[in-house]
Amino acid sequence: MFFRRLLVAAVAALALTETGRSAAPRFYPDDPIQVDRDNQLDAGKATPIEGSNGYDFGEQTFLKPGDRRNIRAVNINTMDEVPDSSWFTNRIGRRDMSIAEIVRGPNSVDTINVDGWPIVRDKTSGITPGYRITDPSGRLYQIKFDPPSNPEMASSAEVIGAAIYHAIGYNIVEGHVVEIDPEKIVIAPNATAVDMTGRRRPMTREDVDKLLARAARLPNGKYRATVSRFAEGSPLGYFKYYGTRPDDPNDIHPHEHRRELRGSRVLAAWLNHDDSRGLNSLDMLEGPAGARFVRHYMFDFGSIMGSGSVFAQVPRAGNEYILEWGPALKTLATLGLYVRPWILVDYPNTSPAVGRFESEFFDPVKWRPEYPNPAFDLMRPDDAFWGARLVARFSDEAIRAIVAKGHYSDPEAARYIADTLIKRRDKVLKTWLTGVNPIVNPRLTVSGALTFENAAVAAGVATTPTAYVLTWSKFDNATGTTVGDTQEVRVTEARGDVPAAIAQGAEFVSVAIRSIHPDFPDWQAPVNVYFRKAADGWQPVGLDRQLSGAAE
Q: Are residues 89 and 175 in the same domain?
A: yes
For 19, the enclosing helix (H) or strand (E) is helix 2-19
pLDDT at 21: 44
CATH number reported for the structural domain that contains residue 523 in this entry? 2.60.40
Do the domain assignments include residue 475? Answer: yes
Number of separate domains in the chain: 3
Do the domain assignments include residue 346? Answer: yes
Q: Which stretches of the chain drop beneath a pLDDT of 70?
A: 1-23, 549-552
Do the domain assignments include residue 551? Answer: no
Do the domain assignments include residue 65? Answer: yes
> 111 has which bridge partners?
none
Q: Are residues 26 and 51 in the same domain?
A: no
Asked whether 87 and 296 are in contact (CB, 8 A), the reply is yes
pLDDT at 449: 98
Q: Are residues 464 and 404 in the same domain?
A: no
CA separation (Å) from 518 to 462, 463, 495? 11, 10, 20
How far, in Å, CA of 373 to CA of 344, rounded?
26
End-to-end alpha carbon distance in the chain: 20
Q: Are residues 446 and 413 in the same domain?
A: no
DSSP conformation letters of 110-155 = S----TTPEEEEE--SSSS-EEEEE-TT--EEEEEEPPTTSTTHHH
* Long-range contacts from 480-488, C-beta under 8 angstroms, 24+ separation: 480/23, 480/25, 480/26, 482/510
Q: Are residues 107 and 7 in the same domain?
A: no
How far, in Å, CA of 52 to CA of 222, rounded?
34
Q: Are residues 56 and 184 in the same domain?
A: yes
How far, in Å, CA of 268 to CA of 259, rounded?
14
CA separation (Å) from 101 to 95, 104, 389? 12, 5, 19
Choose the final residue of a domain: 407, 432, 457: 432
pLDDT at 2: 45
Ramachandran quadrant class, 15 (left: phi over 0; alpha: psi -120 to 50; beta: rest): alpha
Choose the final residue of a domain: 415, 432, 449: 432
pLDDT at 127: 82
Residue type, position 361, single letter: F
pLDDT at 408: 98
For 415, the enclosing helix (H) or strand (E) is helix 411-432
pLDDT at 1: 55
Choose the final residue of a domain: 406, 432, 458: 432
CA separation (Å) from 319 to 315, 363, 427? 8, 9, 15
pTM: 0.94
Q: Are residues 464 and 399 in the same domain?
A: no
pLDDT at 20: 41
Q: Are residues 452 and 420 in the same domain?
A: no
Q: Are residues 17 and 48 in the same domain?
A: no
How far, in Å, CA of 406 to CA of 273, rounded?
16
Do the domain assignments include residue 550? Answer: no
Q: Are residues 187 and 251 in the same domain?
A: yes
Q: Are residues 379 and 447 in the same domain?
A: no
Q: How many CB atoms lie within 10 A of CB 491?
A: 14
Q: Are residues 173 and 288 in the same domain?
A: yes
Nearest to 164 by CA among 73, 88, 48, 267: 267
Q: Please give the residue range of the domain that contains residue 2.
A: 1-30
pLDDT at 9: 45
pLDDT at 11: 42
